Structure 1
Amino acid sequence: MKFRSIRSRLILFMLLATTVPLLLSITITYIHTKETIKEQALEENRNLIYQGKVNLTNYLNSINQASLTLYTDANFLRNLRKIPDDYRAVAEVYTSLQNILNTVHGIERIYLHATQSGQSTLVTPAIYPKREYRTEPYISTQGYEKYTTAIEPTHKSHDYGFPPSPTSYSDKMVFTFHRSITNVPSEKVLALLAIDVSLDSVADITEQLFNKDKEQLLVVDQGGTVVYSGRDSQLGTQITDKELLTRIKGTQTEGFFESGGAMNVFEKMQTPYTEWTIIKRIPNSTLYERARQLTQINAAIAVIALGIIIFGTLFISIRITEPIKRLTSYMNRIQSGQLDVDISWNRQDETGIMFTRFRQMMDTINNLILREYRLELANKTNQLKALQAQINPHFLYNTLQSIGTLALQNNVPRIYALLSSLAKIMRYSMRNNDVLVTLRDEADHVRLYLELQKERFGDQLVYTLDLAPDTLDKPMPKMILQPLIENYFKHGMDHEGRQGMVRIESHMREDGVLQIVIENNGSRIEPEKLATLQEQLAGRGNGELEDEWAGDNGEIGVRNVLLRLQLYTPHDVGMRIENLEPYGVRISLEIDTEDMQDMRTGENKTAEARTGTGPREVHTEEN
């Protein structure tokens, strides 16, 4: 394939015009999508972490409030001095601790050490309370005597020095809420309270904030110890990420930063008894997963589109260049003298139009060679036919006039009237120059025809012409109504039974369409034939109509009426045929009178120029 050919240039152009924009579109889309996803993810996760912070704060506040209920018990502080000798005081202390245990969900155990009596008490949900005398509190609580409230980081559960019970779980991770109970308003410590809280309650809150399989969430205290993590191996360990430690110990209460191939979103919980930081770590692989998927989808679509474009370019280039080669071959043959070349090309596109025009050009050239001879021969033939067509009708018309005159001489006026009607009908049909007439002319012609039929059938026939006055001067093609009425006498009239009836009415629609309705009470059309007839009429004359409705021996029938109506107007012309109940047939015609008026004006101007006369006034006899 030569590079200068249209096909190769078209392929190269299409590849460049599609590949470059596709690659730029994919790149820009990926960058924009990545930034958009980052912004959306940051906003969503900020809201999630804030909600988690509120829920965790509320949960810790509920534990704090539960521990403060000891101060609302007027006998509790007094009972701390009475134990262990006063069993009633011991029971009331048990009850107070048991109330705290039952108030907040997730409390594993409560340890209380009374400093004055040396009584240590342990309350758990699964076993009976334990108590024993100790000179000092359990070692894990001693460091919190100086704090009113504090939270011990996550650690393994233990029984505060009491013998383990069958239901004890030493491997379970908990965090401890410490409170020093003082003799208000003095600051003297009466007891130390330690409440172990299961991480399950924290997990119930935080697990809604992240995807365990793809993301990581940490709750870290101000010392960098992991209070909660989705990974059990990190519980109670120290954070080693320097960037993260800097953010935890800094003054910024919320924000985000990127490190280690992930985006970290954090927010601090600031309460009187602790300062936890909630950190959500989202790996870039998870964060930009949707962007990569979208890019992969776009790339796949681009590859498919590129393949389709290449195939389409080849296909189109072949379809463009092949006709050029074929046309060049035809031209070479014509140049050699073969003027009768069969130029065939069956496409419906521009190339088909080009071949059609070329074929028409060759036909025109071939026709011009014999034009003078053929035109002269056609003119002579037409002149002969025109003379023959005029002789017979004029002879018959003149003969009828002579017979009518003879009838008057012999005092037979009825015969003269009938012959005059027949002569007028023949004269109307011989007006070859009048292609378009008015509805008034058509109605007069139909009235003469019906009068002749009434002479034949007598009282067995009645007819009515109900024509709106504004329709009488509307133009329409000549000889439209009489063939349709003639079908009634040929095929529909009951010659032995009921009285025959023909009704013709007309009116103008608002859209300027003349509507003419012809009804009779003759025999109905068989349903099968009527369906076929309606289908053929809907096809605008395509196909043959039923023989009895198409006319005999080539005479004008329903199909010819429709074709002539369509011939004189570029718009749709409606004709409907339907059966009436219980008998009879209705034919409806719809004619666009504006097109007819334009055509009639043109014909009148042509006739005036040819004859030098003005318009002819028509006087119609009203019956």
Structure 2
Amino acid sequence: MYFSIKYKYIVLYFILTIFPLVICDLLIYQIWTTKFYNNTVESQTKIIKQLNRSLALFKKNVESTSHGFSIIESGLLQEFLQGVDFNVPADLIITDHGKIVYSANSWKNDNSLLETVKNKESVNGKVSGNFTFKESGRNMLVIYNHDPETNLSVISVTEVSKILGKNGNNKKLMVYIIISSIVVSIFSIILISLHVTSPIRSLRKEIKAIENGDFNHSFDRDVMIRDEIWDIEISFHKIMLKLKEQARIQYQLISLTNQAKFKALQSQINPHFLHNALETINSLAIIHNVPLIAQISRSLSKMFRYNMMQDTEEVLIKDELDHMDNYLNVQLIRFDGFIECERQIDPQILEYKIIKFVLQPIVENCFIHGFKNLTDKGMIRIEGKINENKHIVISISDNGPGIPEEKLKKLNEELKTFTLDNKHPPTNKESNRIGIFNVNNRLKIAYGEEYGLQYHNISPHGLCAVITIPIRNRKQQEEESG
């Protein structure tokens, strides 16, 4: 069963706050009531003691002036007691030498109460005290005081509920306090719970948005105090941005690779048919002893076969170099010795990986631009090695006119900036080549923005393209793909 975290906090705070608060209020009320009860008992006891002393004096005066008549016989006791005022309604019992001389209500003939008082006096050895007992289901408070000199005893009987009834105003006040404290606590708990769970709910909203495919949800919540939840939100936002960037880069890599494949194969109406046709030409050239035609047809056939390899994005560097060599074989035969090629490749880089369709477009650029107006013999130099930074560097240079320094600087700045909105898109209308920006962008997507393509002029004339990639061997590739 799903239960929102804000309600969990409300229930938790309710248990931890309101229950103790109510219990605390009830304890305070209990202490308050007990204190009020004790104060009432103490006050009644003082009144009983004072009444007994007054009765002793009254008895002496009455007996001396009435020629030995008792205070009962004189009929003055009732008049005397009418002036006594108790805080709580109480029934009085007055005894003289153990006999009841005055009793109110139903206690007139209740000798069991007198016996109980005598027992309390004899057990405790006190002439004054109090106790409670039950009578007809009611709790009764008895307060007594005995004067040994006159043998007068004054006893008051009060129903406990009447004492507690005097505390009614305090009881109402406590009820109001409890209700008010509960209302204020509930309101505070809701506000605190909403405030505490707000960042969690905000984070959940972001996760839900990403789950629904919305990666544009922005993190713009202002906080006064930074805590762990805020830190988690920041980290999650960074992860989200990285995932978004990785998804964008992956999409661009696939898009650019597909564009590269399309550009390389766009002239093939039926690659398999052309491949078979070239193999047939090769066979005929061998039969009729025409080696140049056989060499061109074999090179073109291998290029088509390489272009049709779509099961992997990365190939061994030696395979990419072979694809470049096949292209060079066709071009060198075409130019009939007017252009030559030199290679200086470190053998240890051949087993490392590189993305497809990188070298051939750069070499093609040499023929399109470098040798466009060439009058002397052309030269293409290809070098490959591992530099001091443990990166693979492959350079392709020609002895063409090069590029003016101002344009070269601008070109390199554009190559350093990775963006799809490049001024030189892969579908450049100036030629049928796969653009250098396409190659550069794919390198940066695949390996990172610190890698890619850069150009520099060489002395006395010529242009050199430098490709820098990280070292990636078969084992690393298998671990990453696994």
| TM-score grouping bracket, smaller chain normalisation | 0.3 to 0.5
Q: TM-score, normalised by structure 1?
A: 0.35
| TM-score scaled by length of structure 2 | 0.44
The structure richer in helix per residue is: 2
- Report which structure shows greater RCO (CA 8 Å, sep ≥6): 2
